[in-house]
Structure 1
Amino acid sequence: MEETLQTIDIKGFKSLFPIEYDAELGDDFFIADITYDRALRMLQYPTRFDGFLGIFCVHGHLSMDINLSTYKVTENSLLFSVPGYIIRVSDVGTDDLKNLRFIVIAVSRGFMSSMRMDFTRLFNESMSVLSNSCIRLEPDELALCSKYMTLAIEIVKNGVTSYKKETIGSLISSVCYFLGGMWADKLSKARRESNPDISARAKLVFDHFLQLVTDNHTSQRNMAFYADKLCLTPKYLSKLVKNVSGRSAPEWIDSFVILEAKNMLKYSEISIKEIVYKLNFPNQSVFYKFFKAHTGLTPSEYRNS
């Protein structure tokens, strides 16, 4: 591979899975009912999906990595990813491959932007997608989601062509608010039970911090940068992040950088010198010390392991 990771959009996804889609609008939207396919092996490598992705497990199970977390996607669970996140299928249950089945819904970044709805902000304010990208649906939630999906398929397949895209866009907006509210309620309850002393404001700032790190970790490792973006002092931000997550802000930043470095070393053929440049380290010596301090291996040792 010449690039750090494979980056695909809806068009690229459809080329990996050349199947008959239940509903699709060009390269902007699709709903796919996918069974076990060898193309899943292509997703065993870290992949940035340039769009919004929802994966619902109907039967079977698989494990997926999203950024720094691994999720067990089991029957009736829903996993969600936003643009820029690194996804990878880390394991597929081999006990029942023939019955593995999941629904994939994808929306392009451009299509979402055309709805004049700040989708990323909606989810960042209602939940920490990065730390809680997978939830299990209750029967009533599952029934309502199924109705939304059935309606979307019927709209796309209907012979009427006028305003079809606008109709689907409005339906997606409705689904987003429904899922955002549902996800927020679940996570709010879980957070209250696990740490009742953390305020909603602190959780919101933490979510915004994670999004900033997701977007800027290859170029910015200085706490002052993130604190300035959030209009806080570095000291206050460090304390807040530690209280909410149990990890310090520098630890979060370093984890993202290490993840990026590991992906470059394992899944690309670019030189270590180029990696140092891409990750904005001043020289190879500093990068070597940073990498070994976090992994116990030099970059060369990790690449060859």
Structure 2
Amino acid sequence: MALFITLDNVHTLYNIDVSKKMDGIAVLHQHHHPAKEYHKHTRLFDGLLLGFLMKGSMKAQIHFLEYEINAGDIAVLQPQLMIDTKSLSDDAEIISIALSSDFITSFPILREFIMNDQIRWRPVIRLKEEEFVLQNELLSLIQKFYHKKESPGKAEMLRHLVISLMCMISEAYSDLQDHKSLIKNRTHEIIDDFYLLISKYATQQRTVKFYAERLHLTPQYLSTFLKQKTGKSVLQWIDHTVILHAKTLLKSSSLSVKQISNELHFEETSLFCRYFKRITGVSPGTFRNEQ
């Protein structure tokens, strides 16, 4: 299931106790169950998302490129970056911390984080071995405070714990950049610019020509380039993004299929239903009713 995640809908989508809802922060602790098809889950969050792989391993596509993530690794996803889980080991255990845009803007270190191109192109990192214990202790405290009974100082204490963890991650990136700086090249620029375009226009513009013209490239060059660099053509990425919108609306809104079809700029509901089934293998109604 592909999901647009916000702090408003994360509790519904992941069956989290609504009483745990807090302004600006959500914490999830997930264990992989082989019966669940996590490899079908594509997620896009509107804030900063941190994923800590505590056990096991996984393969994921983050911002168009594929990564192998192992126990001890941290996945750092800046706002509006897609993560597509390709596979998870049976023993995978993940702690995720989601921070809203409002939370981010309150702290300079987080504002710098979401503007850093090098982090976007190096989203998987791990702390030094001697800092693992501190990392895990902080994660344990963050979870305990998140589930702690409401109190006047709960939110403030949790925010300080999260910022402490973010400072450790920021230091790890600083060390990497000191030794091996990643220069944003033309490949990165094209992918970044294309990503921004499909994020904004995919539900309205579904032709290769539109994106190629905006990027000042020929349609054939853009399709070939993306296929070689990301494994998907322009049309495949457009379909991927449109279905991402559609699945999220089906799962997290009460809009009818017809209303969703209109929202996604399909001329007729029947065209949307055929399009959805061609790509996903099921009808919009069937998808909506699946657990």
Distance, in Å, in 2 between the alignment partners of 1:137 and 1:184 is 11
**Unaligned regions of 5+ residues in structure 1, if any?**
192-199, 225-247, 279-301
Alignment of 1:158-237 (within 5 A): 158-159=148-149, 161-191=151-181, 214-216=195-197, 222=214
- Structure 2 match to 1:234: none
Query: Per-residue displacement from partner, 1:174-215 (whole Å, max 9, x unpaired)?
Result: 332321121231244234xxxxxxxx8x65999899766643
Distance, in Å, in 2 between the alignment partners of 1:157 and 1:74 is 27
Q: Which amino acid aligns with 2:14?
A: F
Report the 3-state secondary structure (helix = DSSP H, G, I; strand = E; otherwise coil) of the residue aligned with 1:129.
helix
Aligned length: 235
* 2:110 maps to 1:119: yes
Distance 1:155 1:45, change over 3 A: closer
Report the 3-state secondary structure (helix = DSSP H, G, I; strand = E; otherwise coil) of the residue aligned with 2:67.
strand
1:122 shift after superposition = 2.8
What is the TM-score normalised by the length of structure 1? Answer: 0.59
* 2:9 maps to 1:9: no
- Structure 2 match to 1:108: 100
Question: Could you tell me which of 33, 54, 57 is aligned with 2:53?
Answer: 57
Distance, in Å, in 2 between the alignment partners of 1:27 and 1:118 is 19
- Structure 1 match to 2:87: 91
Distance, in Å, in 1 between the alignment partners of 2:185 and 2:27 is 31
Q: Which amino acid aligns with 1:36?
A: H
Query: Per-residue displacement from partner, 1:57-86 (whole Å, max 9, x unpaired)?
Result: 121111111121111111111111121111
- Structure 2 match to 1:285: none
- Structure 2 match to 1:230: none
Q: Check conservation: 2:38, 2:88, Cα contact below 8 A.
A: no
- Structure 2 match to 1:32: 28
Distance, in Å, in 2 between the alignment partners of 1:76 and 1:180 is 16
Q: Check conservation: 2:74, 2:126, Cα contact below 8 A.
A: yes
Name the % identity.
14
Distance, in Å, in 2 between the alignment partners of 1:29 and 1:78 is 18
Distance, in Å, in 1 between the alignment partners of 2:132 and 2:189 is 29
Q: Which amino acid aligns with 2:236?
A: K
Distance, in Å, in 1 between the alignment partners of 2:163 and 2:153 is 15
1:120 shift after superposition = 4.5
Distance, in Å, in 2 between the alignment partners of 1:123 and 1:56 is 18
Q: Which amino acid aligns with 2:179?
A: K
Q: Which amino acid aligns with 1:107?
A: L
Q: Which amino acid aligns with 2:95?
A: I
1:142 shift after superposition = 1.4
* CA RMSD, Structure 1 to Structure 2 (Å): 4.4
1:154 shift after superposition = 3.9
Query: Per-residue displacement from partner, 1:253-301 (whole Å, max 9, x unpaired)?
Result: x978x6663143356399xxx9xx99xxxxxxxxxxxxxxxxxxxxxxx
What is the TM-score normalised by the length of structure 2? Answer: 0.61
Distance 1:158 1:18, change over 3 A: closer
Distance 1:37 1:53, change over 3 A: farther
